[in-house]
Structure 1
């Protein structure tokens, strides 16, 4: 196991594992993989996983039912480990546990990470936090449940191995995880492709509302809070829409602008070369990856926001 990780873990009796708000596959996969690994290799440690309630589609992962969703139910730990968290603010209601911990560690792969923990292990070149985490663990101790969690994070954050962050190492690690006996086909379907009826409905609505810029290189869609309420969706049901928009022929930048509550808009941005959407998101206090990023904007009309974002994307395209 990585020397830094070993040193941190050896000093701590109580450990809290944290992820970001609205946890995705890489977040859920990395915290549960770390949880299962510690339960196996360090059974004397008190280990707790704290997350906002994840999507039920990840309930096939071991340890899913043991996730604590109430920050007040947990005491400040000796060590708080934030996994797949690009900024301390992304800890949401669990930030108190991180701030009150005796020691902190952040394991992440976002290029915009400001190194907010006492110790940060960040590798922006990695396809996912799960890929990075695997390199820090003793591979001989990675059994099928741990491998399933790691594989979940890798396939979701790499877009099933098609995003530019996918490397030869990504594929080698995925192969090693497959050798642990995981049901890799079922994981890919369940974690990445399968959608509920209302998820298909909201995606259809977003695609119907899609608008292209003049030269058809930028595409966006606006989904209001009222539309989501009418269909009975939660915000997590919008996952995958920005990526579907990006797949439009000729498009270099795609944006889903969705209203989280009246006047608060969440932007999910996806791109192809040469558009750096992380740079665009950072203008609004967000971040992420060069080809996948996000931010939240309050106090502006959606149309005004999209005019600004289109100009920013076009400026990169027309250099």
Structure 2
């Protein structure tokens, strides 16, 4: 795909869809494209579908226009998925994906095999926001679009510290900053700032985490009853796995949280010696070499044992 404009010819209606439990890159790319189309293609009726994102993203322009439920029977000329690596991870717009006349997929997950009739998947990009920026016409990227794209890049690069950050990432970030966006505020309020209960459950998880494999692996678990006690939702657990990962000596961090009895979501982070995408893919998930996730059914001990068996095969012996 050269530019997104090529896919908009003879299109009257567009739906934009992100993945379940949308993170910063998902929200940023979806809202960035939504705002871009609203401003530059007002003749096209455009809707954006996401599970309600966290409050930290509410500063984004038109945040209140996000649709959190799909209108049954509605058919779009074009549906664009952003940051979605697998059909089963499409959020509230799955019906729209099934019925759309044409589908475009824009992503950066190495596990994405192509969800669209047209696919723009770049595993070497830092974020979907980075990929999306290259598909837009630079002179048409406004301040509010730049804010959304910069937000996504900040989140998927860990404020430009992760290994996915490239010179091209920084060049694009600089171009977005030239739009006079409040970049310091975006980083502080959307990435670092946490509510009191978010910090409480983070502290509880860290306190109860366990180090295994001679300190090379750490596991943190949050059960449903703990979430209920602190009155938190899955979106409030963002950042826990990354905090586990920075423990000195740890090569792999595993964060597990309970969705319902006998069902757990798993987030994996690696410092490089373990390809966690391979681990997650083995159990039906996916992601990136250094960051991936999957869903498990069984007891929490089943989850741990199965994951550790695969991870141990990759960890080099001292």
- TM-score w.r.t. the length of structure 1 is 0.97
> C-alpha displacement at 1:304, in angstroms?
2.2
Partner of 2:175: 176
**1:39-58 Cα deviation digits (max 9, x unpaired):** 11111000111111111110
Alignment of 1:149-188 (within 5 A): 149-188=148-187
Partner of 1:244: 243
SS of equivalent to 2:120: strand
Point out the more displaced range, 210-219 or 101-110.
210-219
Q: Within 2, Cα distance between the matches of 1:61 and 1:4?
A: 24
Q: Could you tell me which residue of structure 1 aligns to residue 282 of structure 2?
A: 283
Aligned equivalents of 1:178, 1:66: Cα separation in 2: 25
> Is residue 141 of structure 1 aligned with residue 148 of structure 2?
no
Q: Which residue does the alignment assign to 1:316?
A: 314
Structure 2 counterpart of 1:303: 301
Which structure 2 residue ranges, 5 or more long, are not aligned? Answer: none
Native 8 Å contact 1:17 1:49 kept in 2: yes
Match of 1:269 in 2: 268
Q: Deviations over 1:78-128 (max 9, x none)?
A: 000001100111113321101100000000000000102111100000000
- Helix, strand or coil at the partner of 2:104: strand
1:194-233 matches, within 5 Å, as: 194-233=193-232
Contact 1:213-1:310 at 8 Å conserved across structures: no
Q: Decide whether the 8 Å contact of 2:275 with 2:290 is kept in 1.
A: yes
Alpha-carbon deviation of 1:6? Answer: 2.2
Residue pair 1:29, 1:152 contacting (<8 A) in 2 also: yes
Which string of whole-angstrom CA distances, capped at 9 and with x for unpartnered residues, describes residues 180-239 of structure 1? 000001000112111001100110111011111131100001111011111111111111
For the Cα contact (< 8 Å) 2:3–2:136, is it kept in 1? Answer: no
8 Å CA contact 1:221–1:255 kept in 2: the answer is yes
**Distance in 1 between the 2:190 and 2:40 partners?**
27
Matches for 1:111-150 after TM superposition, within 5 Å:
111-150=110-149
| Cα distance, 1:74 vs structure 2 | 7.4
Match of 2:291 in 1: 292
User: Is this contact kept in 1: 2:17–2:91, CA < 8 A?
Assistant: no
Question: d(CA) in 2 for partners of 1:313 and 1:182?
Answer: 42
Cα distance change on mapping 1:66 and 1:271 into 2, 3 Å: same
- Deviation per CA, 1:258-285: give whole Å up to 9, x if none: 1011111000111111111111111111
What's the CA shift string for 1:14-49, capped at 9, x where partnerless? 000000011111111101110111111111000111
Q: Is the 8 A contact 1:148 1:182 kept in 2?
A: yes
